[in-house]
Structure 1
Amino acid sequence: MRTLLNIIWLVLSGFWLALGYAAAGIVAFILIITIPFGIAAFRIAGYALWPFGRSVVREPTAGVASLIGNVLWIILFGWWLALAHLTTGIALCLTIIGIPLGLANFKLIPVSLLPLGARIVDSDQVAPGDRLFSS
């Protein structure tokens, strides 16, 4: 079932969302000082391509630098990426078959806003209490 959902996701929204994250990553790499943001953007782009069967887990050791980085991320990239997830999620929820995909889009909004201090892992490797969200 995960594979089927991932294929439908890839066709309907995953490819375009991954392009948005890749564009943010390229801009971050060009600006040089924001290279950590670029790394986070490319990591999330992979997740946006194939989200079902994987989860986002917050790192308990993420410190103040992660917090400051997340604030900068929201200002530079996060708000428009979250807006893209919101728009795509609403559009997908307009159809019956798209409702699970729209809900998955809504679940991607927190990681699109606060990517630093988060890991993307297989859902099988995570205890239920450790998940930020899963698809």
Structure 2
Amino acid sequence: MKVINLVLNVIWLIFCGLWMAIAYAIAGIICFVLIITIPFGIAAFRLAGFMLWPFGRTTVEKPDAGAASCVGNVIWLVFAGWWLALAHIATSIPLFISIIGIPFGWANLKMVPISLMPLGREVVPSDEGFGGH
């Protein structure tokens, strides 16, 4: 299973992972520059790492995430989440055009909810998560 994840991650990295990770890193840098939004920057960098190498990992809700995560997700959605979600959708379109890219297009679309509301989530190995990638 690890060999399959390695192959999938390398293909993902080449066709969309690098670009999506750069988008999340840009969001994180902007959040760090604005200082008050550093917690959003931390979430953006965590997701940038996930975008680079997602197969074999998943995100799950943190059991101790509270109301602050909910409020933070609304703020994130307004200022960064919507354009990251659009980037996932735009990246998935060319992947769907090729037969080999279809699974990666679906994987990209599955990341839209994570891009919209990342706070209160953590990245874990798939065997610890629910339902894998």
- Which TM-score tier does this pair reach, normalised by the shorter chain? over 0.9
SS in 1 for 2:127: helix
- CA drift at 1:117: 0.4
Q: Which residue of 1 aligns with 2:52?
A: 49
1:121 aligns with 2:119: no
| Greater CA drift, 33-42 or 51-60 | 51-60
- From 81, 86, 94, give the equivalent of 1:83: 86
SS in 2 for 1:102: helix
Question: Which letter does structure 2 place at the counterpart of 1:134?
Answer: G
Pairing of 1:14-33 with structure 2 (within 5 A): 14-33=17-36
Q: Which residue of 2 aligns with 1:7?
A: 10
Moved over 4 A (4+): none
The TM-score with structure 1 as length reference comes to 0.93
- CA drift at 1:61: 2.1
The verdict on how the C-alpha distance between 1:112 and 1:27 changes in structure 2, with shifts beyond 3 A counting, is same
Q: Percent identity?
A: 57
- CA drift at 1:60: 2.5
Query: Which stretches in structure 1 are left out of the alignment for 5+ residues?
Result: none
**CA-atom RMSD in angstroms:** 0.9
Size of the alignment, in residue pairs?
130
- CA drift at 1:134: 3.1
- CA drift at 1:59: 1.4
1:40 aligns with 2:38: no
Query: Which stretches in structure 2 are left out of the alignment for 5+ residues?
Result: none
